[in-house]
Amino acid sequence: MSAMYGTMDGAGAGAPDTHGALAAAGVGRSMETKADAAPAGLAVNAAASAQPAPAVPGRPTRRTRLAAKGIHLAPEGGRLRPFVMKVLPPLLGLSLLVLAWQILAVRNAGFPTPLETWHEAVKLFSDPFYRKGPNDQGIGWNILASLRRVALGFGLAALVGIPLGFLIGRFSFVYGMFSPLISLLKPVSPLAWLPIGLLVFKAADPAAIWAIFICSIWPMIVNTAVGVQRVPQDYLNVARVLNLSEWKVATRILLPSVLPYMLTGVRLAIGTAWLVIVAAEMLTGGVGIGFWVWDEWNNLNVPHILIAIGVIGVVGLLLELALVALAKAFSYEEK
């Protein structure tokens, strides 16, 4: 029971806007703005009184005129400033990464430099959809195969998890039934379920989908359930006074009010699913980005592994962004 709430609070905190890398970037940005605003303010006050820079010749600027009266205006940001503050920090971070990579590559003989990797990537992506036998396919096919597995496993999990979450949140009896099970099974690594999948389905592909299913179902159940439990009592009182049917309560009151919570669950789930698919495919083989990484490791093709890491990151980010956009589109405005 406490485990359920614990997870939810974590999810709730990230719920309204962005989370993970995006939120971190936002915080970093605002901190930097504050950090250099203060010293700049002091410096410009001094500069403004010392060096007047008139816009119209012969007439001093308003800043200078006021400064003569002892009134110091706050420093002007300039139009470029917000743009620079938005673009510069991430660019700087990225170049730091490339620099570290370069140093690492120069020191290690077997490690490709960023430039080599870039050339390799251009070659790879110039023909992403080729097929030369089952174990040699273009990177596009591999990504699509992984996405297909995630979509299947994830879709099934949503199909089961969201209604189950509703029932758990709505009926305390069902809550009592499933709460201990969820607390017990949620912490289990999804890969530990892979052998069960292999055993039951006797095939690699369904087993990988099964692993995705099992890892993405928990956040959806828990978030939906907590969302249902947190539906404001006022709305439920309305439902009781109007004596609405259970179906109307579900569609008109619970669903809209739970939706933001549910979408947070969905977002968390898809993040985990994308993490897990890579690992699962390494174990099960076939076609897929995870298998591809492992295959290239066996070929000792390190640039391809690095490219795969980049691709996995980018796809994960895109999935996340898509769901953030979805969540924004569907959440109603309070008050």
Partner 1 sequence: MTSKFIDISRVDMRFGDFHVLSDINLAVEQGEFITLIGHSGCGKSTLLNLIAGLNRPSNGVLVCSGREIAGPGPERAVVFQNHSLLPWLTCFENIHLAVERVFGGKETRRQLDERTWKALELVGLAAAGGKRPSEISGGMKQRVGIARALSMEPKVLLMDEPFGALDALTRAHLQDELMRIVAATGATVVMVTHDVDEAVLLSDRIVMMTNGPAATIGDIVKVRLERPRDRLALAQDPLYLDYRTSVLEFLYQRQGRPAQRFAA
Question: Collapsing DSSP states into helix, strand and coil, what is residue 292?
Answer: helix
Q: Is 3 in the site for partner 1 (CB under 8 A)?
A: no
Q: Say how many residues touch partner 1, by CB under 8 A.
A: 19
Q: Which is nearer to partner 1, 109 or 234 (CB)?
A: 234
Show Cβ contacts of residue 284 under 8 Å, excluding neighbours closer than 6 positions. Answer: 194, 198, 204, 205, 207, 208, 291
Q: Which is nearer to partner 1, 186 or 252 (CB)?
A: 252
Q: Is 250 in the site for partner 1 (CB under 8 A)?
A: no
Residue 256 belongs to what H/E stretch?
helix 255-284
Q: Is 333 in the site for partner 1 (CB under 8 A)?
A: yes
Q: Which is nearer to partner 1, 152 or 250 (CB)?
A: 250
Q: Is 309 in the site for partner 1 (CB under 8 A)?
A: no
Q: Is 247 in the site for partner 1 (CB under 8 A)?
A: no
What is the token pair recorded at 330?
């569907």
Minimum distance, C-beta of residue 331 to partner 1, in the bound complex (Å)? 9
In the chain, the N- to C-terminal Cα span, in Å, equals 32
Are 142 and 305 a contacting pair, CB within 8 Å? no
Q: Which of 9, 248, 321, 325 binds partner 1 (CB under 8 A)?
A: 248
Show Cβ contacts of residue 235 under 8 Å, excluding neighbours closer than 6 positions. Answer: 253, 257
Minimum distance, C-beta of residue 253 to partner 1, in the bound complex (Å)? 7
Stretch that binds partner 1, among 36-44, 58-66, 123-131, 234-242 (CB under 8 A): 234-242
What is the token pair recorded at 176?
């009592």
Q: Cα–Cα distance between 13 and 288 in angstroms, integer?
A: 33
Q: Which amino acid is at 184?
A: L
Minimum distance, C-beta of residue 25 to partner 1, in the bound complex (Å)? 30
Q: Cα–Cα distance between 26 and 89 in angstroms, integer?
A: 10
Q: Which is nearer to partner 1, 65 or 248 (CB)?
A: 248
Q: Is 252 in the site for partner 1 (CB under 8 A)?
A: yes
Residues binding partner 1 (CB under 8 A)? 234-235, 237-238, 240-245, 248, 252-253, 256-257, 332-335
